[in-house]
Amino acid sequence: MPLTLRDKVFADDEPVVVSICCITYNHGRFITECIEGFLDQECDFRVEIIIHDDASTDGTAQIVKEYADRHPTIIRAILQGSNQYSKAVNPYYAYVFPAARGKYIAICDGDDYWSDPAKLARQANVLDENPEVVITYGPVKAWTASGETKSYRGGAKRDLSSQELKDARPINTLTACFRNIFQGSDPPIFLRNSPIGDLTVWGILGYHGTGRYLADMPPANYRIHDGGILSMVTRNKQLMMTALAQLNIAAYHSEKNDIEAAKRSLWRLMDFINKTEVVELIDIDPNRISLTSVLRLWNKHRKRRRRTKKA
């Protein structure tokens, strides 16, 4: 049986197979359990853990530093002096992904945690044996302070095509393990400041393969708490953040000259805006009408809605 990561010491010249990428901010209540879940991984290959602390004020950075000092060949800490997220900087694109040396990347934020010690070995094996697959992912359990919540609606529970990845279909981020396509490249200009960075990652990965859902993988653990970026914001704010992400993804597809993918992202953008009840759209097949016509009709319905409210 392979040793857990906590029992390993790696040589400097040993190639990294998986980079665990983690961002954290004021997760002092949770970060220890998160890191312990990383160190519980049983792998017969080299793993590195990159943890970016965004200038926490609750002692999170000190906990991260202590773990990095104890496991210098495994954990690398990036400790910020000022909060980058508040400056519209996406830490994953700006700092973490560029530092990742692994063949594969796994994501888990500092307030979530894994409880399956075979998680990384299972996912690396699938990616090794299936070159057409660019990302693997699985189920989650959601937890509040009072215990597990059954009402949480997670990400995809099936395989996804390349087109669906380009469309940024939701995936349970803390379960994702994907091919490291970011080595030696700068963050895409339209995606580096997206309010929902994981959706933009899926959009990029769609150019490199398909998604594989691992239904038999034990669930990872997603925390819902008042310090979460998305978990406690209003539904309308989540929709608008997703809409902005879709706009950034559409611009990226346009830069890649994938006009069909850009159109689909813009259509999903309008759908999200419609769901916030800002405007009303009638049921239209986007494949049978031009985008210009859709926007014209959209504006017509928006003006009609305003007149109705005034009356």
Sorted by where each begins, the domain ranges of the chain are: 5-232, 237-310
Question: CB-hemisphere CA count at 13 Å for 256?
Answer: 22
Q: What is the pLDDT of residues 19-63, one digit of tens each?
A: 999 999 999 999 999 999 999 999 999 999 999 999 999 999 999
Tell me the whole-structure pTM to 2 decimals. 0.85
Q: What is the pLDDT of residues 80-126, one digit of tens each?
A: 999 988 887 888 888 999 999 999 999 999 999 999 999 999 999 99
Model confidence at 282, in pLDDT bands (50, 70, 90)?
A: very low
CATH superfamily of 5-232: Spore Coat Polysaccharide Biosynthesis Protein SpsA; Chain A (3.90.550.10)
* 281 pLDDT higher than 90: no
DSSP string, 63-92: HHHHHHHH-TTTEEEEE-SS-SGGGT--HI
Q: What is the pLDDT of residue 37?
A: 98
How far is residue 151 CA from its own chain's centroid?
A: 21
Q: What is the pLDDT of residues 150-183, one digit of tens each?
A: 777 789 999 999 999 999 999 999 999 999 999 8
* C-alpha to C-alpha distance for 201 and 211, rounded to whole angstroms: 12
Under a CB-based contact definition with an 8 Å cutoff, are residues 203 and 166 in contact? yes
Q: What is the pLDDT of residue 189?
A: 76
Q: What is the pLDDT of residues 135-147, one digit of tens each?
A: 999 999 998 877 7
* 217 pLDDT higher than 50: yes
Model confidence at 229, in pLDDT bands (50, 70, 90)?
A: low
Q: What is the arrangement of strands in the sheet containing 75-79, beginning at the earlier edge strand?
A: 75-79, 46-53, 16-24, 104-107, 177-179, 133-137, 210-213
Q: What is the pLDDT of residues 290-308, one digit of tens each?
A: 656 656 665 666 566 656 6
Q: What is the pLDDT of residues 238-268, one digit of tens each?
A: 666 777 788 889 999 999 999 999 999 888 7
Q: Which of 25-29, 225-229, 231-235 has the lowest mean pLDDT?
A: 231-235
Residue 247 or 220, more confident: 220
